[in-house]
A and B are shown apart, each in its own frame.
Chain A
Amino acid sequence: MMMNQGVNAQAVAAADPNSLESRYAFDANQGQAQSYLPSASGSEAASWTVHKVEGYPSQDGVPANASYQHGQQPEPHTKNVQDGSYVAPLSSSSTVGTASAPQDYNSYTSYSNTTDPYSAYSGYYNGYQQQTNNQYSQQQPNPSYSQSVEAYQNTGAAYQPNSSFQNTGSYAGTASYSTTYYNPDNYQTAGGYPSSGYNNQPTASNTGSYANYTSYQYPNYTSDTSSAYGSGSAPTTFQQQYKQWPEYYSQTEVTCAPGTEHLSAAGNSNHGSSLPSVSGGYPTPTNQPQPLPPPPPPPSLNPTWRPETSSSVLPSMQPAGAASGAHDNYWNQTAPSFQTHLAAPTQPLYQNSLDSKTSYENFQELKTAPQGQNSQYTVYQVSQNYQPTSPTVLSFDARRVSKLQIPTNPRIASNAALGIAKIEKDGSAANSLPRPAYVSVAVQKPKDKMSSNNAADPMLKPTMYPKSLCGYVERAFGRYKDDDKKREACEAFMKEIITEAIAEGTLYTRDWDSMPLFTLPDSHSVNNENIQSPTPAAIPNYKKSPIRRSKSRWEPLPEVKMLDKPDSASNETGKFGSWDKRTFNGYSATKDNSLSSFRFSASHQKTPSKSAQRPMKRQRIVNGAGLTNNDDDASSDGDKDQSLTAYYSGAMALADNPEEKKRRESRSKRFERGQGHRPDINYFKPKNAGPANLYTKRASALMLSKSFDDSANQAVEDIDWDALTVKGTCQEIEKRFLRLTSAPDPSTVRPEDVLEKALLMVQNSQKNYLYKCDQLKSIRQDLTVQRIRNQLTVKVYETHARLAMEVGDLAEFNQCQSQLQILYSEGIEGCLMEFAAYNLLCVILHSNNKRDLLTSMSRLTQEAKEDVAVKHALAVRAAVTSGNYVAFFKLYKSAPNLNTCLMDLYVEKMRYQAAVCMSKSYRPTVPISYIAQILGFSNATAEGNGEKVLTGLDECLEWLKAHGASLITDNTGEMQLDAKASSSTLFMPEPEDAVAHGDSSLAVNDFLARTS
C-alpha cells in the first residue's frame, strides 16, 4: 500500500505541471491511492478527501467515496451498509489479500440483500448497457463541449471497466457474483438466484458507479467548469444509473424504455428516484450531481443521496444499479481503452502519467473539437492502461480500484506485492477483459437502443451518432440476427469502425449509407493501426482481439487461449477472435459472453475461501507472474483460461517495447499469412525475463503441440515430406538401434548402399538373434527415416521376419509381417507367396479369428492358391479346423520354408487335443510308438550330435507323462497308453518357461539360450 501511495504521489507530481491535466492526474492518483491504500486508511482517506474537495466539495460525496473505496467503517452511508452486508456473506473473501476486498464485499452483500427483487434486472441491465454505450458513442462524436465531456466520461467509464474487472477478480469471494456480473445471460437467469444474482449485480453496480465516478472527476477537471461537467458527465452517468436501476425497480422499467431512460438520465435523478423509490428522488439526485463541482461525486453522490433521501437499502440498491450500469458502460467504452493499454505496456510510468495528462489536455481540446477529443480520449485510456503495468500503473490501478472500490483494492494489494510484473498482468488482463465487453456493448448499442436513446435524450442526441451510422450499424447487425457469434464479431467490427471514424474525425463526414457492410480485415487492420499509433508498445494480440473475425471458437482449450494470446498475431484472426470472446465476452451482454465472463470472474475471484488464499497466490505471482495464474488454474478450468491469459498479458508487458513492436509487426504479417506460431514463439521465448520464462516455455510447448495439432488437422498432403526427408551420410556399417527421440541427424543415418552392406553383414553374421535383431531394427529405422521403400526394404523386413520366426519372436515377426503386407501391396517385389502363407498360418494358428481368416482367405488369388506354401498353409488350416491331428503332423513334417516354425507354436496344443481325443475314442490301449509317430515325435527333435540322443519314442513318453497320461506295459513289453484311464487324467501342464508377460519367447534368458 505504501508503495502505491508513493507511486501515486509521484504520478501526481508529474501530473501537476499541467493544470487541468494535473488536476486530473492528481485526482486520479488520489483515487488510486485510496483504492490501493485500503490498508492504510489514513492516507487513503486523505487522498480521497482531497479528491473530493476537488471534485465534490460536498461532504456527501466524500463519505460516499470513502465508503466505496474502503467499503469499511468510515462511512455510515448506504455504502457502508452495503459493505457490511457483503462482508457478512463474503467474510472469507475479505481475507483475500487486501482489506479493501472484504469491504467491497460487504457493500455488495448489502446490495444483494436489497436487490433480490432485482432478478429481472439482468435484462434491463443489458439493455442499459447498450443504451449507455450508445450514448457514449454519441457523445464522443458530438462537437459540443458538453458532449466532449461526456465522451470523456465515457472513456473514463471505459477505463474504469477495466478496473472494475480487476475488482471483480479480487472479489473472487463471490463466484456467483462474478458470474452474474460478467454474464448478462446469468443476469437474466438470475431470476433463479435472487440473492446471489443480486449480489453480483450490486458489485457490478458498485464498480460501475466507481467508474462513473472517476469519469466524472475527469470530465470535471478537464472542463474546470462544474456546470459543463454537471450537464455533460452527470447526465450520462445518471442515465446509466437510471437505466440500470429502473430495471431493478419497478420504476426501472419505465426508465428502461429508451425514452424514459433518457429522461431520467437527464434528470440525473435516476439514482435518487431509485433510492427513494419515488420519482421525486430523481430530481434531487440529478440536481446534486450537477451542482456538485467534484467529478468523483457521481458514485459518491449516489450513495450519499441514497442515505439521505431514502432508506439505506434502497439507496444502496440504486447506486449499485447505477454503478452497474455505469460499469457496463465503462466496459463498453473500456474496450478501446484496453486496447490502448495493451499498446502502452512498456512505457514508463512517467510517460503514462504524462500521457494521461496529455490525454486530458487533449480531452479538453477535444471538448472543443469532438474528433480531437476522441483521439485524445483514446490516448488517455491508453495511458491509464499503461499505468497498471508500470509503477505508475499501480497508482492508476489504485485509482481504478478506488473507482471500482472493492475489486480493485484486492488486486492492487496483490499487485503491489508482486510489483510491476503483477500489475502488468492484472492490468493487461483487466484491460483485455473489458475490451471485449466494450465491443459487445458497442454492438448492442447500435442494435437496440441507439434509436431509442437518440429519441429519448435531448442531451444525448447531440452526442449521438449520425443517423446514417445508426442505419449502418443496424444493417450490419441485421445480417446476423440469428447468429450470436457472428453478431459479436460484427459488434467488434462495428465498434472498431466507429472508433476509427471518431479518431479520424470522419464520423459525421463518412458516408455510412454507402459504406460496405463487412470489411472485417480492413477494419481490423485499421483498428490496429489506430491503437498502435497512440501507444507504440501496444500488444498486437490485444489489438487483434477486437477483431473477432471468425465465429467464436468455444472449443479451444486453455492452451489454445494461451497460444492465441501470445500468438494472436500469428494465429488466425478467427482463433484470436474466439479467444477474445471468451475472455472478454463475459462482459458483453450476449449469452456467449456470459460464459466466458463467468470463467474470468471465477478465475480472479473464486469462492470466498479461495479468495482468502489469494494473497498467497499473489505473492507467488510476484515470484513468477505465471505461477499465480497456475494456482488459479487449479481451482477451476475457467480460472485456468483466465489465468493463462493474465499470465500472457503479463509476459507481454515484460517484453521490451521494441521487441513487442517487432513482434507485432511480424504478427500482423503472419496474420495475413495465416499460421506462423512457431517463429513467434521462438521469438517470444528468449525475450521474456526471468520468471516469465518458465511459463513462456510451457506456453511455447503448448503452442508447439497446438501447431502440431493444426498440422494434423491439415490435409496430410499439405505436408511436404520430401523437404523433411533426411539424406544419410553415415558410412558405418554397424549401428546400434536407438529409438529416435528427436529429428534424425543425417550424420548418423546410413545411405542406401551402406544399408545394403549392413544387411549382408547381418545375414552372414554368426552372432545371436539379439544382435541381429538390433542391427535389423537400426537398418529399418534408417530406411524409414530416409523414406526408402524398395526391394531393399522388402529384403530387410523379410530377413528380419524369418529370423524372428526362427526364434519364435512373434512380436517382431508381426511387425515385419504387417510392414511387408503394405510393401507388397505397393507392388514391390518380394517373397509374396511365402509371406502370404505365413500370414495365413499366423491367423489360423495364433489369432484364431474367424473373420480375419475369412478375409485372408478371400484375398488369396487363384494363383496364390496354387503356390506350394499357400497350399500347405491352407491344408494346415483345414487340419486345424477339423482337428485332424494326423494331417497336421504330416503337414508339419512337410512344411516348406519356415512354415514349420509357425506351426511349432501350435504343436503342443495339437498334441494335447490329439491325446484327449485318442484317450476317449481308443480302447483299450494305444501303443506309444504309434502315438509318437502320428504326433510327430519320431526323430523330429532327435539330435545326433549330443551324448543324449532322444528318440521320438522317449520324447513321446516324457511328453505323455508330463501331461498326466496313464501308461502301461503290455505282454510284449511295449509301452501302451491306457486310454480309459488317461481320459480322465490328461491335463495341460503349465509351461515351464512361462514368463510374466505371457510370451516366453520374449524372456531374455530364453532368447540367449536359444540364439547364442
Chain B
Amino acid sequence: MAYLSMGESHRRITDYLNRFVDAINYQDGDSLARLFSVSSDTPSLLSLADALNVFQDANRLIKQSEKFSQFGEVVAPFFRSLQSYRLGNLVDAYRAFEKASNAFIQEFRNWESGWALEALYVIAYEIRVLAERVDRELASNGKSPEKLKGAGSFLMKVFGVLAGKGPKRVGALYVTCQLFKIYFKLGTVHLCRSVIRSIETARIFDFEEFPTRDKVTYMYYTGRLEVLNENFPAADQKLSYALTHCSLNKEANIRMILKYLIPVKLSIGILPKKQLLENYNLVEYNNIVEALKRGDLRLLRSALQENEDQFLRSGVYLVLEKLELQVYQRLLKKIYIIQKLKDPSKAHQMKLEVIVKALKWLEIEMDVDEVECIVAILIYKNLMKGYFAHKSKVVVLSKQDPFPKLNGKPVAT
C-alpha cells in the first residue's frame, strides 16, 4: 500500500461522507448503493478503506458536522466494516456491516418513497455475501458458522419493512430472493414457505409488477422447491417461466434453470434436444436422455452412478432415478415393435421370458418375479395398457395405444 498522507485520508473520508449525504439529499439511490458495496472492491471504496486505516479517527469527522453526524449510526459502523474488510477481518467486517445495515433500515423506514431501494438491495446482497464468506472462514477455523443464519434473520427483518403496502413493496422480491439463497445454502428450505406465502397471497400487488430480474430468481427457487416436492407440473411451470423471462445474455443463469428444468421435463416425458444440452454444457444429462430414448436401463443406471454426487447435491437424483420406469416402458415398447414386425397378430402378447432375456442382454440380472413386478407396476402406473396373466406369464397389451405417452403429465403414483 502506497504511503497515504493524513491529509489525503482526511480528504477521501470527507469526500465519501459528502457523497453519502448528497446521495441521500438528492435521493440518488444508485449513488447511495455504490457507496455501500463493500465487497465489490471498487477502487473508490478500496482507497477509502486505506484512508480509514490511516486516519483512525473517522468518527470524529462524522461527528464534526451536523450534516454527517445525522447519519453517524450508519456511516460509523460502515467505516469500521470497510476497515475490517480491507484488513481481512471478515468477522468484524460482517458485524459492523450488520450494525450499519440495521441503522440504515431505520432510516429507510422513515423514507416515504422507495428511492433508496437500490441501496437496500446492495445492503441485502452484501450482508449475504459477507456472511457466506465469514461462515466459510469460521468453518475453516473450526468454529461454528452462524453468520449466514444471522443474515437470514436480518433479511427477514428487511423483508418485513418492504412487504407491506406502498411503493417499497416492489423491493420485497429482491430480499426474498436473497433469503432463498441463504435458505438453500443453509439447507433450511422450509423457511422459504412463509416468505412465499406472503408474496403469493398478497393481492394488493401483482406479481408481474416486480422487476423481471427478481421474478426470474424467485421462480427459479420456487421451482427448485417444487422439484424437491416432486410436484412436476408446478416445477415445470415455474422453471419455464424463469427460463422464458431470463435474459439470454445470462447464460450461467439459464444453465442453472435448465439444470432443474430438464429433469422435470424428462419426468413428464419431454426430451431435450441434444443441441440444448451441449449449448449449456449440461452433458451429464446426455446419457440419461439417451437411455430414455433407447430404453437402455443399463445406460441410465451407469449415468446415474457416474454423476451421483452431482445429482445428489443438486437434488435431482431422485427425480432422475424415477425415470427408470420410463426406460422400462421404452424397452417394452421396443420389444413390442419388434414383435409387431415379426408377427403383427401376436404382437400384443408379450411373454415375460422375452423381457427377462432382453434385460439380460443389458446385463441386468433380474429374476422372473421381479420382472413380473415391474410389468405390474408399469400397468398399474398406466405406462402400459393391458394386463398380466400370471398363469401363462404373459403380458397382454391393449391393441390400442398400448404405450401411452406422458405428454406433459407426470407418471401416475
Partners in one complex: yes
Given contacts A857-B312, A857-B317, A925-B391, 9 further A-B contacts (CB under 8 A): A850-B229, A851-B187, A853-B318, A854-B317, A884-B370, A884-B373, A886-B369, A887-B370, A921-B379
B-binding segment of A100-108, A146-154, A782-790, A875-883: A875-883
> Which residues, 311 to 325 on B, are CB-close (under 8 Å) to A?
312-313, 315, 317-318, 321-322, 324-325
Q: Find out whether the CB atom of B376 lies under 8 angstroms from the CB atom of A917.
A: yes
Q: In the complex, what's the smallest C-beta–C-beta distance from B223 to chain A, in angstroms? A: 15
- By beta carbon, the residue of chain A nearest B229 is A850
A143 in the interface (beta carbon within 8 A): no
Cβ of A857: which chain B residues have Cβ within 8 Å of it?
312, 317
- By beta carbon, the residue of chain B nearest A927 is B390
Q: Find out whether the CB atom of B318 lies under 8 angstroms from the CB atom of A854.
A: yes
> Which residues, 886 to 943 on A, are CB-close (under 8 Å) to B?
886-887, 890, 914, 916-918, 920-927, 930, 934
Q: Find out whether the CB atom of A855 lies under 8 angstroms from the CB atom of B373.
A: no
Q: Mark B128-145, 1 if CB is under 8 A from A, else 0.
A: 000000000000000000
A847 in the interface (beta carbon within 8 A): no
- By beta carbon, the residue of chain B nearest A480 is B63
> Which residues, 452 to 489 on A, are CB-close (under 8 Å) to B?
481-482
> Which residues, 185 to 225 on B, are CB-close (under 8 Å) to A?
187, 189
Q: Find out whether the CB atom of B322 lies under 8 angstroms from the CB atom of A930.
A: no
A858 in the interface (beta carbon within 8 A): yes
Q: Find out whether the CB atom of B321 lies under 8 angstroms from the CB atom of A878.
A: yes
B337 in the interface (beta carbon within 8 A): no
Q: Find out whether the CB atom of A887 lies under 8 angstroms from the CB atom of B380.
A: no
Identify B322's interface contact among A853, A882, A890, CB under 8 A.
A882
Cβ of B324: which chain A residues have Cβ within 8 Å of it?
882
Determine which residue in A481, A850, A884, A921 has the highest number of CB atoms from chain B within 10 A of its CB, and name it: A921
- By beta carbon, the residue of chain A nearest B317 is A854
A885 in the interface (beta carbon within 8 A): yes
B309 in the interface (beta carbon within 8 A): yes
Cβ of B379: which chain A residues have Cβ within 8 Å of it?
920-921
Q: Find out whether the CB atom of A482 lies under 8 angstroms from the CB atom of B372.
A: no
Determine which residue in B63, B370, B390 has the highest number of CB atoms from chain A within 10 A of its CB, and name it: B390
Q: Find out whether the CB atom of B389 lies under 8 angstroms from the CB atom of A923.
A: yes
Q: In the complex, what's the smallest C-beta–C-beta distance from B15 to chain A, in angstroms? A: 22
Q: In the complex, what's the smallest C-beta–C-beta distance from B314 to chain A, in angstroms? A: 9
Q: Find out whether the CB atom of A921 lies under 8 angstroms from the CB atom of B380.
A: yes
Residue contacts A-B, CB under 8 angstroms, 17 given: A481-B69, A482-B69, A850-B230, A854-B312, A881-B321, A882-B321, A882-B325, A884-B374, A884-B377, A885-B373, A886-B372, A921-B379, A921-B380, A921-B387, A922-B389, A925-B390, A934-B369
The 7 closest A-B pairs by CB, nearest first: A921-B379, A923-B387, A886-B373, A858-B312, A921-B376, A917-B380, A886-B370
Give bound CA distance, A481 to B70, whole Å: 10
> Which residues, 59 to 100 on B, are CB-close (under 8 Å) to A?
63, 69-70, 72
Give bound CA distance, A482 to B59, whole Å: 13
Query: With A482-B72, A854-B312 known to touch, is A921 a contact of B374 (CB < 8 Å)?
Result: no
Cβ of A927: which chain B residues have Cβ within 8 Å of it?
390
Q: In the complex, what's the smallest C-beta–C-beta distance from A986 to chain B, in angstroms? A: 13
- By beta carbon, the residue of chain A nearest B374 is A884
Q: Mark B213-246, 1 if CB is under 8 A from A, else 0.
A: 0000000000000001110000000000000000
- By beta carbon, the residue of chain A nearest B395 is A921
Q: Find out whether the CB atom of B321 lies under 8 angstroms from the CB atom of A851.
A: no
Give bound CA distance, A887 to B374, whole Å: 10
Cβ of A886: which chain B residues have Cβ within 8 Å of it?
369-370, 372-373
Cβ of B321: which chain A residues have Cβ within 8 Å of it?
878, 881-882
Q: Find out whether the CB atom of A881 lies under 8 angstroms from the CB atom of B390.
A: no
Identify B189's interface contact among A481, A851, A885, CB under 8 A.
A851
Query: With A917-B377, A921-B387 known to touch, is A881 a contact of B322 (CB < 8 Å)?
Result: yes
- By beta carbon, the residue of chain B nearest A924 is B389
Q: In the complex, what's the smallest C-beta–C-beta distance from B368 to chain A, in angstroms? A: 10
Q: Find out whether the CB atom of B377 lies under 8 angstroms from the CB atom of A882.
A: yes
Cβ of A854: which chain B residues have Cβ within 8 Å of it?
312, 315, 317-318
Q: Find out whether the CB atom of B318 lies under 8 angstroms from the CB atom of A850.
A: yes
Q: Mark B386-402, 1 if CB is under 8 A from A, else 0.
A: 01111100001000000
Q: In the complex, what's the smallest C-beta–C-beta distance from A928 to chain B, in angstroms? A: 11
Give bound CA distance, A522 to B60, whole Å: 25
Q: Find out whether the CB atom of A930 lies under 8 angstroms from the CB atom of B189.
A: no
B375 in the interface (beta carbon within 8 A): yes
A interface, CB within 8 angstroms of B: 481-482, 850-851, 853-855, 857-858, 878, 881-887, 890, 914, 916-918, 920-927, 930, 934
Give bound CA distance, A878 to B324, whole Å: 10
- By beta carbon, the residue of chain A nearest B380 is A917
Cβ of A930: which chain B residues have Cβ within 8 Å of it?
390
Q: Find out whether the CB atom of B309 lies under 8 angstroms from the CB atom of A850.
A: no
Give bound CA distance, A482 to B228, whole Å: 51
> Which residues, 285 to 314 on B, are CB-close (under 8 Å) to A?
309, 312-313
- By beta carbon, the residue of chain B nearest A859 is B312
Give bound CA distance, A924 to B387, whole Å: 9
Give bound CA distance, A918 to B372, whole Å: 10
Give bound CA distance, A421 to B230, whole Å: 71
Give bound CA distance, A917 to B382, whole Å: 11
Give bound CA distance, A303 to B376, whole Å: 104
Determine which residue in A482, A853, A878 has the highest number of CB atoms from chain B within 10 A of its CB, and name it: A482
- By beta carbon, the residue of chain B nearest A481 is B69
Q: In the complex, what's the smallest C-beta–C-beta distance from A451 to chain B, in angstroms? A: 20
Cβ of B387: which chain A residues have Cβ within 8 Å of it?
921-923
Query: With A850-B230, A854-B318, A884-B373 known to touch, is A921 a contact of B189 (CB < 8 Å)?
Result: no
Q: Find out whether the CB atom of A923 lies under 8 angstroms from the CB atom of B318.
A: no
Q: In the complex, what's the smallest C-beta–C-beta distance from B57 to chain A, in angstroms? A: 14
Give bound CA distance, A924 to B187, whole Å: 49
Cβ of B318: which chain A residues have Cβ within 8 Å of it?
850, 853-854, 881
Cβ of A925: which chain B residues have Cβ within 8 Å of it?
390-391
Q: In the complex, what's the smallest C-beta–C-beta distance from A974 to chain B, in angstroms? A: 11
Q: In the complex, what's the smallest C-beta–C-beta distance from B352 to chain A, in angstroms? A: 12
Give bound CA distance, A918 to B373, whole Å: 8
Q: In the complex, what's the smallest C-beta–C-beta distance from A87 to chain B, in angstroms? A: 44
Cβ of A851: which chain B residues have Cβ within 8 Å of it?
187, 189, 228, 315
Cβ of A883: which chain B residues have Cβ within 8 Å of it?
377
Q: Find out whether the CB atom of A922 lies under 8 angstroms from the CB atom of B377.
A: no
Give bound CA distance, A890 to B229, whole Å: 29
Give bound CA distance, A882 to B318, whole Å: 10
Cβ of B313: which chain A residues have Cβ within 8 Å of it?
858
Query: With A482-B72, A850-B318, A921-B380 known to touch, is A858 a contact of B309 (CB < 8 Å)?
Result: yes
- By beta carbon, the residue of chain B nearest A865 is B308
Q: In the complex, what's the smallest C-beta–C-beta distance from B34 to chain A, in angstroms? A: 26
Q: Find out whether the CB atom of B370 lies under 8 angstroms from the CB atom of A918.
A: no
Q: Find out whether the CB atom of A926 lies under 8 angstroms from the CB atom of B315.
A: no
Give bound CA distance, A918 to B312, whole Å: 32
Q: In the complex, what's the smallest C-beta–C-beta distance from B404 to chain A, in angstroms? A: 15
Give bound CA distance, A458 to B290, whole Å: 102
Q: Find out whether the CB atom of A918 lies under 8 angstroms from the CB atom of B70.
A: no
Cβ of A855: which chain B residues have Cβ within 8 Å of it?
187
Give bound CA distance, A77 to B154, whole Å: 61
Q: Find out whether the CB atom of A923 lies under 8 angstroms from the CB atom of B388.
A: yes
Cβ of A921: which chain B residues have Cβ within 8 Å of it?
375-380, 387-388
Q: In the complex, what's the smallest C-beta–C-beta distance from B335 to chain A, in angstroms? A: 17
Give bound CA distance, A925 to B390, whole Å: 7
Cβ of B389: which chain A residues have Cβ within 8 Å of it?
922-924
Give bound CA distance, A917 to B384, whole Å: 13
Cβ of B309: which chain A residues have Cβ within 8 Å of it?
858
Give bound CA distance, A887 to B373, whole Å: 9
- By beta carbon, the residue of chain A nearest B376 is A921
Determine which residue in B312, B318, B322, B373 has the highest number of CB atoms from chain A within 10 A of its CB, and name it: B373
- By beta carbon, the residue of chain B nearest A852 is B187
Give bound CA distance, A855 to B187, whole Å: 9
Give bound CA distance, A853 to B321, whole Å: 13
Identify A850's interface contact among B228, B377, B380, B390, CB under 8 A.
B228
Give bound CA distance, A925 to B312, whole Å: 41
> Which residues, 25 to 78 on B, are CB-close (under 8 Å) to A?
63, 69-70, 72
